[in-house]
Amino acid sequence: MKKNGILAFTAMSTFISGFILYNVQASSLFKNETAQTAAQTAAQTAVRSATSNSMNKENRILEGKTIVIDAGHGGKDVGATGQTGIHEKDLTVQTALNIKQELAEKTGANIVLTREQDEFLTLAERVEIAENHAADLFISIHFDAFTSNDVAGITTYYNKPADRQLATMIHDKIFEQNIDTRDRGVSQGDYFVLRENKNPSLLLELGYISNQADEQRIQTQDFQNKAAAAITEGIISYLI
Ligand SMILES: [Zn+2]
């Protein structure tokens, strides 16, 4: 929609709702922090193509949305084990906590982690958490392993065809961060937490802990920051 269309729509929305919904400047959209109204929802749709700068300046942009971040494995289920002995379950929860922090700061969304401690959860319990919170999005965090230590890279999985676009958006954002590992692309995967999930969902394999370079990279603050930033940007692009 052209800018003057947005302005006209803004004026109309303001008139209908009886108060100023938001500043018309593209750099300060969605200032209003009241419960989301139908007019606001429509307005968000209208400005979907607004500049990404406006997203950076707006830290309440996903207020009212619920995002469930699932730290894979936990407790007796250690997941994969790296060459240095590190367990996947410990990396997933650390990564999930970083994503939670970034999402909370940048979007104002309601962020639910399936676990924040080293505890065992069944796959069904993880899906149940998404359902109980009526999640707008469910993202499961994992790290891969393979018998050959040469295999490296990041893969994004979806199950339902409707979630392919979501998976592609987030995957592309990750590789926009110049992460120096192989881009293994977006694939359809028959994972329980995706297949049984009624909510939009994807599963990220954020590197191979069986590969020395990946294993080291995953544990750096630089990678953790880039991953959290990319996933947050992808979620904003998808949900707004
Ligand atoms: Zn895993």
DSSP helix, strand, coil percent of the chain (3-state; round to 5) = 45, 15, 40
Residue 66's pLDDT is what?
A: 98
Q: What is the pLDDT along the chain (240 residues), one digit of tens a residue?
A: 444 444 444 444 433 443 333 333 333 333 333 344 455 545 554 444 444 444 455 789 999 999 999 999 999 999 999 999 999 999 999 999 999 999 999 999 999 999 999 999 999 999 999 999 999 999 999 999 999 999 999 999 999 999 999 999 999 999 999 999 999 999 999 999 999 999 999 999 999 999 999 999 999 999 999 999 999 999 999 999
CATH fold for the domain made of 66-239: Aminopeptidase (3.40.630)
Phi, psi dihedrals of residue 102, rounded to the nearest 5°: -65, -45
- Rounded alpha-carbon distances, angstroms, from residue 94 to 15, 98, 238: 47, 6, 24
Which residues have CB less than 5 Å away from ligand 1 (the ion)? 72, 79, 142
Distance 237 CA to ligand 1 centre (A): 26
Distance 81 CA to ligand 1 centre (A): 10
Domain residue limits, the chain: 3-57, 66-239
Residue 195's pLDDT is what?
A: 98
In the chain, beta strands by DSSP E: 66-71, 110-113, 137-144, 154-158, 183-188, 201-208
How many Å apart are CA 71 and CA 91, to the nearest integer? 8
Phi, psi dihedrals of residue 120, rounded to the nearest 5°: -85, 135
Distance 87 CA to ligand 1 centre (A): 10
What is the model's pTM?
Answer: 0.76
Distance 107 CA to ligand 1 centre (A): 27
Under a CB-based contact definition with an 8 Å cutoff, are residues 27 and 53 in contact? yes
Distance 72 CA to ligand 1 centre (A): 6
Distance 120 CA to ligand 1 centre (A): 13
- Rounded alpha-carbon distances, angstroms, from residue 220 to 32, 166, 214: 37, 26, 10
Which residues are catalytically annotated?
Answer: 205
- Rounded alpha-carbon distances, angstroms, from residue 165 to 142, 188, 191, 202: 20, 12, 18, 10
